[in-house]
Amino acid sequence: MNFVNNHILSVSQFDLPAINQVFSVADRMVPYVNRQRVTRVLEGCILGNMFFEPSTRTRVSFGCAFNLLGGEVRETTEVRASAIVKGESFYDTARVLSGYSDVIVMRHKIEGSVEEFASASRVPVLNGGDGANEHPSQALLDLYTIRKEMAGQGKGIDNLRIALIGDLRYGRAVHSLCKLLTLYSNVHFTLISPPELSLGDEYISAMRGAGHKVVESMDLYAGISHADILYVTRTQEERFPTREEADLYRGLFRLNQSIYTEYCEPNTVIMHPLPRDSRDDANELDSDLNENPNLAIFRQTDNGVLIRMALFALILNVENQIEDTARDVNWHTRRSSESGGTP
């Protein structure tokens, strides 16, 4: 896979060498995210951070990653106010906006919209999420987190035992992660969801076809008992036909510290694509897990910045120039000693 000047629209574009290339560049971004070093490699370069569906977290993460490379960010969060509501096609929007920046991140709730946009764009486009379809940087940061967490235990991704829990039907993060994990060897998937929210057959067939073991279950306690990774999800209520239907499933599987202690192996890592729903009737990951050192959910979002920096660097072909313009940070930086800090 050649990254330079290419769109990143789907995890399906990635094979193992491409993934390893992204992860290798991401590793080299650590001193910049940890605020030991500053680089200006993209000084003068402009990101068009075009979010036509709201997402504070993802939008700020992409913007931050670009700033950390020294670039500038122009953005939009105007969902209802854009020219699209005046009847403008994605083709036109893309042709216009691609004249304003060097690379674009786009999010829109319509599935396939980002691909349509990219086909008309004159600069590379990174899919920041198109409805229930794709969100490739999320899948890459999840996989990168798994690799890092497992490496800390002397393991790899091959032979991984992962339990996926919750809304496996509407959660695009789950879909994309399953696709990427399928590229590895001998992964053991335990899928824990109500039947109505189970993972689509096409995913399961692909996983089994590639030689992985897939077990479906509604038994949370059995399912989490022999896992390296628990990947917990929120009920994606905004993707359900009605709010009432979503309410039926919220809070069905809940994890807290006492369940963890009783059923999980000591080093089982807990992940979540976030946001976690902490309201009483949901609370899929109780706050009493916050001091659990295996709770990796904030390491995931920290890793997201590394992954997004790597993708930008590869697309713009500056991954070998990062250090040329770098210097030490001259301001007082974040409390690196705090729990939960960048690992």
Within 293-312, the residues that bind a second copy by CB under 8 A are 297-298, 301-302, 305
Interface with a second copy includes 40 (CB under 8 A)? yes
Residue pair 175/167 in contact (Cβ under 8 Å)? The answer is no
**Based on C-alpha coordinates, what's the Rg of the chain?**
20
| Residues in 187-246 that interact with a second copy by CB under 8 A | 234, 237
Catalytic residue (one of 58, 182, 233, 268)? 58
With CB under 8 A as the contact rule, the residue among 27, 92, 111, 262 that binds a second copy is: 92
Q: Could you say which of 64, 206, 218, 259 contacts a second copy (CB under 8 A)?
A: 64
Q: Shortest approach of a second copy to residue 30 CB, angstroms? A: 13
Do residues 62 and 105 make contact, with C-beta atoms less than 8 angstroms apart?
yes
Instruction: Examine residue 27 and tell whether it contacts a second copy (CB under 8 A).
Output: no
Nearest distance, CB of residue 132 and a second copy, angstroms? 16
- The tokens for 255 are 């994890």
Size of residue set near a second copy by CB under 8 A: 84
Q: Which residues make beta-bridge pairs with 51? A: 107
Closest CA to 136 of 164, 90, 172, 111: 172
Residues 229/203, Cβ–Cβ less than 8 Å: no
Asked if 15 interacts with a second copy (CB under 8 A), we say no
- Min separation Cβ 35 and a second copy, Å: 6
What amino acid occupies position 256?
N
Tell me which residue has tokens 């992954």.
307
Contacts of 235 (CB under 8 A, 6+ apart): 166, 167, 170, 197, 246, 249, 250, 277, 282
Residue among 59, 107, 179, 234 flagged as catalytic: 107
Q: Closer to a second copy at the Cβ: 200 or 275?
A: 275
Is residue 58 flagged as an active site residue?
Answer: yes
- Hey, which residues are catalytic here? 57-58, 86, 107, 135
